[in-house]
């Protein structure tokens, strides 16, 4: 069976709303418009306007309202039309949501999910293309998830909604329409993935490639091509940015002795830097070569198609990084 | 027990609504209770000032003395099922909600017995079991949060309301207008209580707001201006607002009040306002003195008896401090608790990752 | 040249101010100029729609057709020393400020000849030399920015004003209320122009705002409601507002207008409003048709002459598109230019740090 | 001569305001109150309310106004009472300030400084203690500076104000009252430091310690103690978080072959992680041991004094990290 990421998210929301009357969805255009990207399609009809709440374009306000409702014990799912707009509300995500359980010594837990598309889409320019994985991932009190496939999307969103802590859930607009095979287990309404665990998408022994969200697809494509060249790449789909699954990453690097990190966001203080540090800390002696870091170019996102292409990692980048020195393996025919 | 009727100090000024009557019903018990509760709050804050000066309290510490009538008047009108949320000036709200002096002082001193186990500090008191949701340090943030509590109350069909307290400085924050719009669109039982003590830190209200008529700043949302130094006016307004909000949605109460202390402990509170202004308020509008006069004029107690109450309160406070001082600092292991409700057994690190590691519960 | 006087379609509705007269002075030249300018804007947007459908424009693309009277009426009242700032629906504002069709289309197609060299895209047009400060993608952000322009104008004693345009959806943003308060406190020459096209994406104004009377939402700031489909009403209001703002500080103009297209290219624009509503506006309130009728009724041109203008405009647009298509994509090296004005010769990295490195200028 | 960091900042502001009439200061309590931390003392008197502008407590609004004024060509210095409150305004810092020059292909430059105390103070709890160096440092279009000494404070603030790009200037409340020796050169009104260059505060050959802001002091103290034990530590004061002076860091590590990074902020995706990645990328073969990362504990800041002390790096941490295995050198007598 196949399922798009969009349907995976939609069905996860639907099932969790049906399972727990405290779960509700709020955000811009989530209701009558069926979601700017149609993730909430059909939910208004099914659950009514009390539980599928269209908001004005006031992120700070509605995020604060969502967090307040979570203080009281509801389980809000707050949709940001894109995570770029979460900056208007970031104080509530960090100061009101992430820190409350700690400051109150456990009195005020905050079971809330902040979700929406994160990072680059196509041709939307600098203000609409930022990746927030590293920022949110740096903050204790938050859990940060980033699904790649439909399995991830279903399993992680359900886990996020059921989790008693604030979860930032980073989707990717360009993946919404992509289809992935799903098992019966994944389709079962009890399906749920553990938070904090990465998934080895493909086993290998020569090089470890870590990636999350859309970049997992590139890593898998690169691994496929590499295998034809006799290089066996292990691809780790991080799934969880915080907690980061240091164990799985380190175990893999101890086996392959080489590491390539891939992300779409800005490089400095990014997820790749953290993974590099984690491996240097725990598996320094196992590294046979410098860690290769693939990330978004260190520039605001340009609009022009040619520049945009240069600004986000392409699978050719993953590929050449994985074979070591640039130019070692030039296979333009693959792309 | 007899019922007394008391006239509020001044009439309510109203925006887009018919104001409640100036005549408030009370009982001798309530009147004396107000006296004692406010005296206790006052005493607690003054003791906190001393503890701060002797370095037993650290960091920021914002005192509430002068504003006590707001806390007690509000509590008299509502139940613990109603919610309250406020900013960092939260000690007396906590006490009003039924918090204990010991837990308050222990928190201020960062001890294990504190209401937040010493992890929150002065600005982060909570008492969820009595509907007190903190204690927030970011100016304005509590307003959407409070509207969110009201959202949840309505969603849960609980028939209760939330009171969200904020200062005159916070009243200009954009998130307030965002939240109010949604509260009004969705008819949330949200009562916005602007504690107008006329200064946001060192800035007089008129220097921060083109329109310091905070009860009107909701525009399309009704509002009342209330003498916040008169516990009975506060009670009357809160009762009225609760009824209104349950039926119709949000309403703003502007409490005309005053803080005696500086903004926080580093502010002497005297560079941006005159000593005359402060002593004038103390002499003419002090909330405790107002109630003392009412008690005396209704012959409910003698001056001596009131003094005794004050002495008793003083003793309670002193004992609480002594007890709080007995409480140890939190266990070092508390550094890593409550980061999450569910930590999944993940490893977390201290400043030196090799020396301090913990497995999150 | 003769002066004509024209009556605005409807009277202005005013909040806390005496409205200007309905009688507007114009000239045949201005009237015909309005016709041509609006026709050009309309044509540009319709051409952009086609280019989008043929995939020459990517990403978001927000079209302005229906709202042209606001852009041209405003320009007629001010100079290029006055500032304008708007949101993402910016193509026609750019044209109004004197931007060229070629630069507009080249930008839309991400070409070197674009007004932002292809780096900004549809939402990020600028023309600083004529006082146009963009082109902003974050709803509401341009409002404080525009007040900041006004701040700088006043600081520099330039005697000019800034017009800040925002939608009915944006009108609920908290930062607007924050900026307005400061603009009022500091008497900034800031004119807030709410282009009320009655929908923010798929949300009708009344679903997003408890009070959709946007000209009143400034509370203590005066406002005017203007028929934004009538270029002369817009001109009159902007002239009035400029004079007012220079003397007194901020004022809000609510332009009652309509967008014919969907919100952006992915929105058919027909799920949340009826086709009747759209065609009703087209038939009764279209800004170009209104001017056409005025031209004809004043015998300033024949129907044929107006059709010729439209043909001419069409040709201009087609030629501009052809020319824009000739423009190459930006040089790859542009990836690393303009990150900073002064890059200190620092090394910056591409996606693969080993393959792409650049020294910032 | 000695000068406090407070006076260094104050004099730098004063001189730049006097040199360029386009420079003005805005923020909460900067005028009549003379600054919440008295950094702007005397400036209102000297320059008047047009140029020393008290604002309401509306960070999003006044930051946007500042950025708009910079678009027009003024040179605003926006004070955040602390950087914690910059989260309410972060959309303007990132989307309105950092990206405009790029999106406009150079038309709209944004010569603005955002400054104020950053990171932990003493006893102010979780919402008032966050370090934003890594967040802002990740964003292309911004420059991010963090002074340690009075020399840094003067030289970097003057550089920031003169710079044509948006600069985030991260001060530290606990340093305001500290005195440092200053040369005549530093006191000269023409004094200015280069942006993007680290300073080697102390030369050494056995281990490189990188730090910024208050942590530089700890690093220097640790180096002093280490020297008594015969360990020669090189201390790098980063000064600039973005651009990061990779060259100076790498050159040092190539000499010492060991690296300890110190920062107060959260560890994940932090400055230390980036420095580690930079060194792994450029000097992998030179590293004789895993990079040691000292950072704030991975928790919201607790209030209680004992917990707070555990949550921020102490110089004992720097020390023990610098000697390798914990326990190698236990010298409690020093602290
Ligand atoms: C967003 C934000 N900006 C600034 C501060 C610093 N600050 C704390 S309290 C305060 C004054 C608030 O005044 P007001 O709202 O009138 O409340 P009051 O202290 O008088 O009770 C300021 C500026 C903060 N905590 N949060
Ligand atoms: C802060 C923020 N939230 C959400 C969006 C997504 N968005 C872009 S335009 C828009 C609707 C705005 O409506 P309105 O202000 O009425 O302007 P109009 O499009 O009608 O011109 C939305 C929700 C955004 N760009 N910024
Ligand atoms: Mg106040
Ligand atoms: Mg609109």
Q: What digits encode the pLDDT tens for the residues B88-114?
A: 999 999 999 999 999 999 999 999 999
Other residues' Cβ atoms within 10 Å of the Cβ of residue C80: 15
Tokens found for residue A78: 């707050």
Angle CA D160–D163–D167, to nearest 5: 50
> What separation in Å is there between the alpha carbon of D170 and the centre of ligand 2?
33
Mean pLDDT of A197-222: 98
High-pLDDT (> 90) share of chain B, % = 98
Neighbour tally for A332: CB within 10 Å: 6
Residue nearest to atom 7 of ligand 1 (CA): B139
Supply the pLDDT for residue D324. 67
pLDDT at residue C2, as a whole number: 87
Over the stretch C311-361, which tens digit does the pLDDT of each residue have? 999 999 999 999 999 999 999 999 999 999 999 999 999 999 888 889 998
Residue C139 alpha carbon, nearest atom of ligand 2: 26
Residues 6+ apart with CB under 8 A from D258: D206, D207, D208, D287, D288, D289
- The H or E element containing residue C248 is helix C231-248
Using alpha carbons, select from D6, D59, D50 the residue that is nearest to residue D28.
D59
Beta-bridge partners for D234? D208
What is the pLDDT at residue D327?
42
Which pLDDT score is estimated for A322? 85
Q: Does B210 touch chain D (CB under 8 A)?
A: no
Model confidence band, residue A325 (pLDDT cutoffs 50, 70, 90): low
Q: Is the pLDDT of residue C200 over 50?
A: yes
Q: How far is the CA of A64 from the centre of ligand 2 (A)?
A: 19
Alpha-carbon distance D240 to D168, whole Å? 10
The alpha helices in chain B, defined as continuous H runs, are 28-53, 68-77, 91-96, 101-108, 142-155, 174-185, 205-208, 231-248, 275-285, 287-297, 303-326
**How many CB pairs below 8 A link A and C?**
162
Q: What is the pLDDT of residue A333?
A: 40
Interval between CA C213 and ligand 4 midpoint (Å): 13
Rounded to 5 degrees, what angle do the CA atoms D150, B57, D4 make? 10
Measured in Å, residue B194 CA sits from the centre of ligand 3 at 9
Contacts of A286 (CB under 8 A, 6+ apart): A253, A254, A257
Paired strand residues for C7:
C23
- Centre of ligand 2 to C-alpha A177, Å, is 23
User: Of D122, A58, A95, whose CA–CA distance to B136 is shortest?
Assistant: A95
User: What is the position in ligand 1's atom list of the atom closest to the CA of B166?
Assistant: 15
Flag whether the ipTM exceeds 0.85.
Answer: yes
C189 touches chain D (CB under 8 A): no
Considering only CB atoms, which chain B residues are within 8 Å of D36?
201
Q: b vs e for B121-151, b when ≥16 Cβ sit within 10 Å of the residue's Cβ?
A: bbbbbbbbebbbbbbbbbbbbbbbbbbbbbb
The reported pLDDT for the residue numbered A34 is 98
Instruction: Scan for tokens 């170009």, then name that residue.
Output: C288
Residue D210 with chain A: CB contacts under 8 Å: none
From C187, which residue of chain B is nearest by alpha-carbon distance? B210
The answer to whether residue A170 scores a pLDDT higher than 80 is yes
Counting Cβ atoms within 10 Å, is residue C23 exposed (0-12), middle (13-18) or buried (19+)? Answer: exposed
Looking at every residue in chain A, the average pLDDT score rounds to: 96
Angle at B209 between CA B207 and CA B213, to 5 degrees: 120
Please judge whether B178 and C172 are an interchain contact, meaning their C-beta atoms are less than 8 angstroms apart: yes
Q: Which of A29, A35, A57 to probe ligand 2 with, by most ligand atoms within 8 A of CB?
A: A57
Span A15-27, pLDDT tens digits:
999 999 999 999 9
User: D249: which chain A residues are within 8 Å (Cβ-Cβ)?
Assistant: none
pLDDT at position B349 over 90: yes
Looking at the annotation, which residues of D are catalytic?
Answer: 59, 128
Radius of gyration of chain A (CA): 20
Q: Which helix (H) or strand (E) holds D237?
A: strand D233-237
Nearest to D37 by CA among D27, D45, D50: D27
User: Who among A140, A163, A281 is closest to B339 (CB)?
Assistant: A140
In this structure, the strands spanning D233-237 and D207-211 are: parallel
Q: How many CB atoms sit inside 10 A of residue C19's CB? A: 17
Q: Is the peptide bond before D243 cis (omega within 30 degrees of 0)?
A: yes
Which residue has its alpha carbon closest to ligand 1 atom 13?
B200
| Nearest atom, ligand 1, residue B173 CA | 1
Please identify every residue of A annotated as catalytic: 59, 128
The verdict on A108 touching B (C-beta cutoff 8 Å) is yes
Of chain D residues 20-79, which have a CB less than 8 A from chain C?
A: 24, 50, 53, 55-56, 58, 60-74
Q: How far apart are CA B117 and CA B110, in angstroms?
A: 7
Where does residue C339 rank: exposed (0-12), middle (13-18), buried (19+ CB within 10 A)?
A: buried
Adjacent-strand bridge partners of D228:
none
The pLDDT value given to residue D325: 53
Give the CA dihedral A55, A56, A60, A63, nearest 10 degrees. 0
- Start-to-end Cα distance in chain D: 28
A334: confidence class by pLDDT, cuts 50, 70, 90: very low
The answer to whether B235 touches C207, Cβ cutoff 8 Å, is no
Residue C10 contacts D where some CB pair is shorter than 8 Å: no
User: Of A95, A117, A84, A132, whose CA–CA distance to A270 is shortest?
Assistant: A132
Nearest residue, CB atoms, A243 vs list B133, B138, B344: B344
What is the pLDDT, as a whole number, of residue C355?
A: 86
Beta strand B223-227 with B203-204 is unpaired
Residue C58: CA atoms inside 13 Å, Cβ hemisphere, count?
17
Residue C309 pLDDT: 98
CB contact under 8 A, D103 and A299: no
Of residues B58, B137, B349, nearest to D297 (C-beta): B349
Q: Does the distance separating the beta carbons of B181 and C172 come in below 8 Å?
A: yes
Residue ranges in chain D assigned as alpha helix (H): 5-19, 43-47, 59-72, 90-91, 100-103, 133-137, 150-162, 184-187, 214-228, 246-256, 271-283, 305-311, 315-322
SS3 B314: helix
Q: Quick one: what percent of chain C has pLDDT higher than 70? A: 100
Across the interface, whether the CB atoms of D165 and C119 are under 8 A apart is answered no
Nearest CA to ligand 1 atom 12: B200
The answer to whether the CB atoms of A277 and D281 lie below 8 A apart is no
pLDDT value of residue B1: 65
B97–chain A Cβ distance below 8 A for any pair? no
Reported pTM:
0.98
* Residue ranges around ligand 2 (CB below 6 Å): A 28, 57, 59, 81, 85, 88; C 89, 137-139, 167-170, 197, 199-201, 263
pLDDT at C162: 98
User: pLDDT under 70 in chain D at which residues?
Assistant: 324-335
pLDDT, residue A335, reads 38
What are the pLDDT digits (tens) for D194-229? 999 999 999 999 999 999 999 999 999 999 999 999
CB atoms within 10 A of CB A325: 10
Strand partners, B203: B200
Q: Is residue D305 packed enough to be buried (19+ CB in 10 Å), middle (13-18) or exposed (0-12)?
A: middle
The confidence band for A164, taking pLDDT boundaries of 50, 70 and 90, is very high
CB A92 within 8 A of CB A64: yes
Q: Read off the pLDDT of each residue in A296-319 and give the average, rounded to a whole number.
A: 95
Which among C172, C174, C220 has CB closest to B210? C220
Of all protein residues, whose CA lies closest to atom 20 belonging to ligand 1? B200
- What is the pLDDT averaged over residues B191-213? 98
User: Average pLDDT of chain B?
Assistant: 97
* Ligand 1 neighbours by CB, cut-off 6 Å: B 89, 137-139, 167-170, 197, 199-201, 263; D 28, 57, 59, 81, 85, 88
Q: What angle do CA D106, D112, D113 make, to 5 degrees?
A: 140
Do C139 and A33 lie within an 8 Å CB cutoff?
A: no
The residue whose C-alpha atom lies closest to atom 8 belonging to ligand 2 is C139
Q: What's the gap in Å between B267 CA and the centre of ligand 3?
A: 13
Distance between CA atoms of residues D52 and D78, nearest Å? 10
The backbone torsions φ and ψ at residue A320, rounded to the nearest 5 degrees and listed phi first, read -70, -35
From the list D121, D305, D129, D307, the residue with the least C-alpha distance to B108 is D305
Sheet strands (E) in chain C: 4-7, 13-15, 23-26, 83-85, 162-167, 190-196, 199-200, 203-204, 223-227, 251-256, 347-349, 357-359
> Which 157-176 residues of chain A touch chain B by CB within 8 A?
163-165
Q: Are strands D143-145 and D233-237 parallel, antiparallel or unpaired?
A: unpaired
Calculate how close chain A gets to C205, using CA atoms only, in Å.
Answer: 9
């Amino acid at each position: 069976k196949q399922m798009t990421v969009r349907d995976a998210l939609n069905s996860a929301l639907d099932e969790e709303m049906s399972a727990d009357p405290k779960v509700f969805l709020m955000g811009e255009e989530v209701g009558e418009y069926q979601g700017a990207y149609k993730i909430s399609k059909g939910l208004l009809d099914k659950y009514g306007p009390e539980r599928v709440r269209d908001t004005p374009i006031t992120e700070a306000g509605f995020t604060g309202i969502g967090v307040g409702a979570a203080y009281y014990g509801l389980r809000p799912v707050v949709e940001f039309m894109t995570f770029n707009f979460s900056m208007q509300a970031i104080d509530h995500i960090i100061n009101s949501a992430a820190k409350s359980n700690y400051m109150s010594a456990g009195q005020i837990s905050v079971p809330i999910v902040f979700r929406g598309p994160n990072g680059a889409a196509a041709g939307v320019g600098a203000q609409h293309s930022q990746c927030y994985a590293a920022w949110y991932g740096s903050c204790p009190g938050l859990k940060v998830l980033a699904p790649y496939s439909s399995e991830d999307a279903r399993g992680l969103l359900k886990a996020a909604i059921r989790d008693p802590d604030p979860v930032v859930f980073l989707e990717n607009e360009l993946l919404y329409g992509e289809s992935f095979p799903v098992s019966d287990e994944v389709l079962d309404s009890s399906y749920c993935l553990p938070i904090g665990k990465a998934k080895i998408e493909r086993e290998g022994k020569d090089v470890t490639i870590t990636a999350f969200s859309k970049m997992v697809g590139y890593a898998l494509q690169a691994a496929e091509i590499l295998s034809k060249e006799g290089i066996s790449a292990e691809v780790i789909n991080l799934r969880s940015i915080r907690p980061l699954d240091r164990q799985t990453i380190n175990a893999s690097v101890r086996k392959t002795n080489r590491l390539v990190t891939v992300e779409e966001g800005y490089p400095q203080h990014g997820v790749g830097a953290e993974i590099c540090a984690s491996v240097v800390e725990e598996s320094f002696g196992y590294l046979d070569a410098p860690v290769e870091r693939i990330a978004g170019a260190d520039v605001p996102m340009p609009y022009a198609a040619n520049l945009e292409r240069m600004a986000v990692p392409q699978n050719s980048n993953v590929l050449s990084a994985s074979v070591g020195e640039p130019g070692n393996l030039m296979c333009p025919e693959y792309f | 027990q007899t019922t007394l009727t008391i006239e509020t100090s001044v009439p309510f000024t109203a925006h887009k609504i018919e104001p409640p009557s100036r005549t408030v019903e009370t009982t001798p018990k309530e009147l004396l209770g107000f006296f004692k509760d406010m005296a206790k709050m006052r005493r607690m804050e003054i003791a906190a000032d001393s503890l701060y000066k002797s370095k037993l309290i650290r960091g920021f510490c914002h005192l509430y003395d002068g504003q006590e009538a707001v806390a007690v008047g509000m509590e008299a009108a509502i139940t613990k099922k109603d919610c309250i949320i406020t900013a960092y000036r939260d000690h007396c709200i906590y006490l009003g909600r039924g918090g204990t002096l010991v837990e308050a002082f222990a928190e201020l001193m960062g001890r294990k017995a504190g209401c937040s186990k010493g992890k929150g500090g002065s600005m982060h008191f909570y008492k969820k079991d009595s509907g007190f949701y903190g204690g927030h340090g970011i100016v304005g943030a509590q307003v959407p949060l409070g509207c969110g509590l009201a959202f949840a109350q309505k969603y849960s069909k609980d028939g209760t309301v939330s009171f969200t307290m904020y200062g005159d400085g916070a009243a200009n924050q954009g998130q307030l207008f965002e939240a109010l719009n949604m509260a009004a669109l969705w008819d949330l039982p949200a009562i916005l209580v602007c504690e107008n003590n006329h200064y946001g830190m060192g800035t007089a209200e008129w220097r921060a707001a083109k329109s310091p008529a905070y009860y009107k700043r909701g525009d399309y949302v009704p509002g009342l201006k209330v003498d916040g130094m008169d516990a009975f006016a506060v009670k009357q307004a809160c009762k009225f607002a609760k009824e209104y909000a349950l039926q119709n949605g949000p309403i703003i109460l502007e409490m005309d009040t005053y803080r005696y202390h500086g903004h926080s402990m580093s502010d002497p509170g005297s560079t941006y306002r005159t000593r005359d202004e402060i002593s004038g308020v103390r002499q003419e509008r002090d909330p405790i003195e107002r109630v003392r006069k009412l008690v005396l004029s209704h012959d409910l107690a003698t001056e001596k008896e009131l003094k005794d109450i004050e002495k008793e309160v003083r003793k309670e406070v002193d004992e609480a401090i002594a007890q709080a001082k007995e409480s140890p600092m939190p266990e070092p292991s508390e550094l890593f608790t409550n980061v999450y409700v569910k930590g999944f057994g993940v490893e977390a690190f201290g400043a030196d990752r090799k020396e301090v590691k913990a497995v999150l519960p």
